[in-house]
Amino acid sequence: MASTPQAALQELNQKTRAISMLGSCASLLGWDERTYMPPGGVNHRAEQMAMIAGMTHEKMVEPRIGELLNIVSNSDLMNGGSTDAAVIVREVGRSFERATKLPQALVEELTRTSSLAQNAWEEARAKKDFKIFKPWLAKMIDLKKQEAEAVGYKDDPYDALLDDFEPGATVKDIEKTLTGLRAELVKMLDKIKGSSRRPKGDIMKRRYPREAQEKFGREAADRIGFDFKRGRLDVTVHPFCTGIGPGDTRLTTRYDEHDFNNAFFGTMHEAGHGIYDQGLPESHFGTPLGDAISLGIHESQSRMWENQVGRSKSFWKYFYPKAQQTFPEALGDVTLDEFYFAANDVKPSFIRTESDEGTYNLHILIRFELERAFFAGQLQVDDVPEAWKKKYQDYLGITPPDDSIGCMQDVHWSAGLIGYFPTYSLGNLYSAQFFAQAKKDLGDLDADFAKGEFSRLKKWLNDNIHAHGRRYLATDLVKKVTGKPLSHDALMTYMNAKFGELYGF
């Protein structure tokens, strides 16, 4: 038993390291499940995962953690709240509180429902029949409402769900930022719609041999600073990045021989996540000081490398001659300018994951607004398909012909991930605000990129964001790094400049 605050802190760190170690085993099993596991392994893997989840939960709600938190938080290790110990108490305290407030029965019911609802969702999507998914969606929303009540909140039950993904964010702040963003986006898209300029449509859909795509994507990920000695790139159906632990970060992508964008920008995106994971302080593994802040900040890193860097003209000044060498058949007769325009084509589409940089956030806004409405009881589950179609017509000017590419295209709701979507848009907003600051601090980054030089930007991200682990909440980090709270200004300034030049407004 700990006698001094210092000993209590050590014991607490040992406990969170053990929890993280289990988490990293689960990540590795999860990675394997989605890359190399033979289909026959599915049941045994589910049992392995359930066992680890149970062990993790048990460790997270150990009363001893509460005692240790108490000893440390009442000691002079806190020193006004800015010390390592204070960060650990704040962050471990939050997960401990959340885990202990959730009744075991609700946790189990959520796990079971999520697995059954995902099955129903897959079937419903394949048959384009919302009726199959409907009762499960209703049940999931009901359970998530119970979760919010159990966890507790100040102003809005949605905050309790959001807090799981984006600690410290409130729906009130997010709503204000996103509503401002929506108005500006719609204005920008109107200008693009009114423009007569269009990229040559077929460039990205020509034939790009798979091996060449893989070699090219790998080269780009390596060049921007993803360390392949401490990471891998493999193939999967729904790409992701997972940090297994110090020295081991796994990227995944998928290849389509008639689509350049999917694998290339997907690899850049996941490499951005990977660079963040590789930049976390290894010596703090298993404590909040060695962990990523939030989904929004994680997404800001992936989106920055994918978009601000990967879809910039200067990036392609360096990479385009290599692309032409690698894909002579597809790109032999295409100029750099034509390729750059094609990589930045803005066109309303039904599927979020395939949408362009200009329309992406409207897809998120639609989901966020619907979640808010059904969570507040203003929208019934029966009416979700129609509400979805109406919003797509209002914001993007298109109506999905069926629900499989409408309200059933994403896995999130069936998996119980409600309050998750807004973190994608937060990621885009954070990424633009960070990138504008990096340019201010570092000067002409475009000159760097045109030479294939990305290390100054990577180091800036390492120093200003990755090295801190969870020391700051996302809302505080953005103020610390950029001097301003999060707003839509930087993203809109960046997009209006880029698309204004391309589309002539």
Query: Active-site residues: which are they?
Result: 270
Distance of CA 424 to the CA centre of its chain: 5
CB of residue 503 to Zn ion, shortest distance in Å: 27
Tell me which amino acid residue 376 is.
Answer: A
CB of residue 273 to Zn ion, shortest distance in Å: 6
Token pair for 70: 């108490």
Distance of CA 305 to the CA centre of its chain: 13
Question: Nearest-CB residue to Zn ion?
Answer: 302
CB of residue 352 to Zn ion, shortest distance in Å: 12
Given a contact cutoff of 8 angstroms between Cβ atoms, the answer to whether 357 and 311 are in contact is: yes
CB of residue 266 to Zn ion, shortest distance in Å: 10
For Zn ion, the closer CB: 56 or 302: 302
Given a contact cutoff of 8 angstroms between Cβ atoms, the answer to whether 204 and 330 are in contact is: no
* Sequence-distant (≥ 6) Cβ neighbours of residue 139 within 8 angstroms: 113, 117
For Zn ion, the closer CB: 19 or 364: 364
CB of residue 302 to Zn ion, shortest distance in Å: 4
CB of residue 299 to Zn ion, shortest distance in Å: 5
3-class secondary-structure state, position 251: strand
Rg over alpha carbons for the chain, rounded to the nearest Å, is 23
CB of residue 336 to Zn ion, shortest distance in Å: 28
Angle at alpha carbon of residue 499, lines to 494 and 365, rounded to 5°: 70
Mutual angle of helices 171-194 and 157-165, in 10-degree steps: 80
For Zn ion, the closer CB: 252 or 475: 252
Pairing of strands 231-235, 241-245: unpaired
Given a contact cutoff of 8 angstroms between Cβ atoms, the answer to whether 436 and 482 are in contact is: yes
For the chain, the residue count is: 505
Rounded distance, CA 40 to CA 421, Å? 32
For Zn ion, the closer CB: 262 or 302: 302
Given a contact cutoff of 8 angstroms between Cβ atoms, the answer to whether 191 and 197 are in contact is: no
Please give the helix or strand (H or E) that residue 253 lies within, else none: strand 248-253
Distance of CA 209 to the CA centre of its chain: 29
Which positions touch Zn ion (CB under 5 A)? 299, 302
The residue with tokens 């996103």 is: 178
The answer for 286, left when phi > 0, alpha when psi is -120 to 50, beta otherwise, is left
For Zn ion, the closer CB: 267 or 302: 302
CB of residue 269 to Zn ion, shortest distance in Å: 6
* Sequence-distant (≥ 6) Cβ neighbours of residue 74 within 8 angstroms: none
CB of residue 263 to Zn ion, shortest distance in Å: 15
For Zn ion, the closer CB: 299 or 448: 299
**How crowded is the C-beta side of 277, counted as CA atoms within 13 Å?**
28
For Zn ion, the closer CB: 113 or 302: 302
CB-CB neighbours of 16 under 10 Å = 24
Rounded distance, CA 211 to CA 192, Å? 35
For Zn ion, the closer CB: 358 or 427: 427
Given a contact cutoff of 8 angstroms between Cβ atoms, the answer to whether 221 and 251 are in contact is: yes
DSSP state of 309: I
Rounded distance, CA 458 to CA 481, Å? 15
Q: What is the DSSP string of 377-419?
A: TSS-GGGHHHHHHHHHHHHHS---SSGGGTTTS-STTTTT-TT
CB of residue 243 to Zn ion, shortest distance in Å: 13
DSSP state of 256: B
For Zn ion, the closer CB: 241 or 343: 241
For Zn ion, the closer CB: 253 or 302: 302
